Structures are given as C-alpha cells and as structure tokens.
Amino acid sequence: MLTLYYAPHTCSLASHIALEDAGAVYELKRIDFSKTEQQEPDYLAINPKARVPAMVTPRGILTETPAMLAFIAQSFPNAHLAPLNDAFAFAEVQAFNSYLCSTLHVAHAHRMRGYRWADDPAAITAMQRKVPESVGASYDLIERHMLKGPWVMGDAYTIADPYLFTIAQWLEADGVDPKRVPRVVDHRSRMLERPAVKKAVAAELQG
C-alpha cells in the first residue's frame, strides 16, 4: 500500500495523477496548510522538510516530485509511464521533470514565498514583481524547445505530462499570458480530458 500526503493546489497533484495512471492501490492523506498541519510533529516525522508531497512506501518514505514520479513509473512498468528500457530516453524525462522542479517551480514560489530567500520587504516585493518575467521565460523555453508534443516527450504519454499539467495550472496567476504559450495551454486542455486527471482533481477538491 502506498500513502500520498498532499495538499490541494500544490505539485502533489502530479504524483496523484500518476498513481491513477498506474492503476496503483493507494491512500490519500490531506495536509491542511491553512491549519499549518505541515508543521505538526506527526507530519514532520514523515517529512521534516514540512512540505508536500510525501509518499509512504513499503520500503520507506519518498519526497520530491521527480523522485516520486520515477518511482511510480518503475514500480508499475505495465502502465508504460516512462521509457524504462531506454536509459537515454528515461534521462530525458528526468531532465524535463528536474527543470520543472528546480527552475520553474522555484520561480513560481517567489510570488508567495519570497520569505524563503529574503527578510527585507522591499526584496520580497521585487521578487514578486519579477515572477511574470521569470516564470514566463521558463514557459517560453518549454514551449519552443522542450515540449515535443502532443505529449511532453512526443507521441508517448509519460510522467512528465502530469507534472507539466500541475504546474501549468498556475500560469495565469503567475502573470503569464496564456496566448504566449499556446502549446502548453493545449497540453493542459488535453490533460483535463483524461479520466485519471479528472478523478485526481475531483478527489483533491473534495478533500
């Protein structure tokens, strides 16, 4: 049994969708950020980073979305969520997901979590002002050079797709004009048509 700790409107949705794609048996545990449950001792014992997602597996606890997505793909090979038999192609998937994690998501976080990097209110405001530019530049790169389409890696759906979909939910709030990245927006729309995506999104909204 797998247990996914999640919070709505966070990147935990990517792993949630992948679990559905894989046909996995799993349990959901919601962490309520409004009650700062991520700071409670019980959750810190699971993930001392005080963030979501976290996944409890029979072998231990995993954190960080790229690692969790790779684990799901490798644990359920019959779901064909990654090119597991091609080391280079799998590395390409990992490279894409790592970019989302280390660059795009970090740029997004400057909009509401500038306190992670600065204490000066003026510096935090400057970070927030920069978000449309920095996030937009990341999406420009994805749109022009990284999104192979119709899915991220081309014709085959992979664990890169739920991750891009999840982060692309925040596109407009980050101040990026969706007309600027039509392929990313098209990808987001097609993802919403998938049963696994519909089920995961509905489950998280219902809590």
Same domain as 128, residue 153: yes
* Domains: count for the chain: 2
Full-model pTM: 0.97
Pair 96, 163 in one domain? yes
Domain span including residue 114? 87-194
Distances (CA, A) of 133 to 43, 96, 123, 170: 35, 20, 16, 14
Question: Can you give the pLDDT at residue 206?
Answer: 83
Give SS3 for 73.
Answer: helix
**pLDDT tens digit sequence for 111-125:** 999 999 999 999 999
pLDDT computed for residue 168 by the predictor = 98
149's CB contacts (< 8 A; 6+ apart) are 183, 187
- Compute the distance between CA of residue 119 and CA of residue 174 in angstroms, rounded to an integer: 22
Tell whether 185 and 201 lie within a shared domain: no
Q: How far apart (Å, rounded) are the C-alpha atoms in residues 69 and 26?
A: 14
What average pLDDT score do residues 157-186 get?
98
We report the CATH number of the domain holding residue 169 as 1.20.1050.10
Q: What is the pLDDT of residues 11-31, one digit of tens each?
A: 999 999 999 999 999 999 999
pLDDT in the model for residue 96: 98
pLDDT at 205: 84
140 pLDDT exceeds 90? yes
Q: How far apart are CA 206 and CA 28, in angstroms?
A: 12
- Both 118 and 68 in a single domain? no
